Amino acid sequence: MGGVVFQREQLVRFGHCDPAGIVFYPRYFEMLNELVEDWFAQGLGLPFDQLIGQRRLGMPTAQLGARFLRISRHGDRLQQRLRLLRVGGSSLSLAVTFDGDDGTRVEFDPVLVCTSLDTHRPQALPDDLRAALQNAQEMNP
């Protein structure tokens, strides 16, 4: 598996939690989406607002597995780590973990597909995105 290509810390906030005081599992999916969006902007230099708004390209999640291993509580700090596993013709596969001080809390394995927002069909990854992805892989073998 490739090395970590992007990471950040996520504070678990009150709004992430259910009445039991633990993260309500759909909030993890929102955190995942925010992580991917920040990776595109900060790690790859291709913000979603430019891809979607100006270039009419989408990067929807076409497949997603999740494993919930430990609970997270209000005030916890999660280390979110994203690994780039594979770059295909129009898709990319990731491995993502949210880790706490007691180990991994959640694992995800998303597959993103590049699409035209005009036709909503898959299309080849643009050259600048492919180059940024290849650069991320080379810098984090």
Residue 7: Cβ within 10 Å count: 16
For 37-73, give one letter per residue: b (16+ CB within 10 A) or e. Answer: ebbbeebbebebeebeeeeebbbeeeeeeeeeeeebe
Q: What is the pLDDT of residue 68?
A: 98
Q: What is the pLDDT of residue 24?
A: 97
* Domain boundaries of the chain, sorted by first residue: 4-139
Per residue in 96-124, pLDDT (tens digit) is: 999 999 999 999 999 999 999 999 999 99
Q: What is the pLDDT of residue 61?
A: 97
Q: What is the pLDDT of residue 51?
A: 94
Task: Tell me the C-alpha to C-alpha distance, in Å, between residue 62 and each of 66, 81, 85, 139.
Answer: 14, 20, 15, 26
φ, ψ at 2 (rounded to 5°): -65, 165
Q: What is the pLDDT of residue 60?
A: 96
Q: Which residues of the chain have pLDDT under 50?
A: none
Please determine, looking at this structure, whether the domain spanning 4-139 carries the CATH number 3.10.129.10. Answer: yes
Three-class secondary structure assignment of 13-65:
CHHHECCCCEECHHHHHHHHHHHHHHHHHHHCCCCHHHHHHHCCEECCEEECC
Task: Tell me the C-alpha to C-alpha distance, in Å, between residue 51 and each of 41, 54, 121.
Answer: 10, 6, 15
Q: What is the pLDDT of residue 103?
A: 97
Q: What is the pLDDT of residue 139?
A: 84
Q: What is the pLDDT of residue 138?
A: 85
